[in-house]
Amino acid sequence: MSYPSGRRFEWSIRSVLESCGWVTVRAARSKPVDLIALKDGRILLIECKYNTRISSERIDYLKKLAGKAGVRPILAIKKKYERSITFIDVDSGGEVKI
């Protein structure tokens, strides 16, 4: 995915989060993560993926970073022919309601 397409995708996820009451910050060039979301004392580090796999190295990095900060690592995934975005807790592997 090109940088502009990836940026648009991250902004669409940001809009979903903000419509659910989250305050979000987008990290330029996805360094160290794509989005940081804050709500009611909770903090999420979010990696956004559109119809692609995430490397085990990137997952390990996300877990390590979240562990250091004491926050929750989340994958936001949208498959090519689906409208909805799925949020997955990286630690448990389970789906998260946002």
Cα 79 to Cα 52, 74, 76, 84, distances in angstroms: 8, 16, 10, 8
Catalytic residue among 15, 30, 84, 92: 30
Beta strands 42-50; 23-26: pairing state: unpaired
Residue 30 is among the residues annotated as catalytic for this protein: yes
3-state class (DSSP) for residue 68:
helix
Contact status, residue 30 vs residue 39, Cβ threshold 8 Å? no
**What would the two tokens of residue 46 be?**
């979010």
Active site residues per annotation: 30
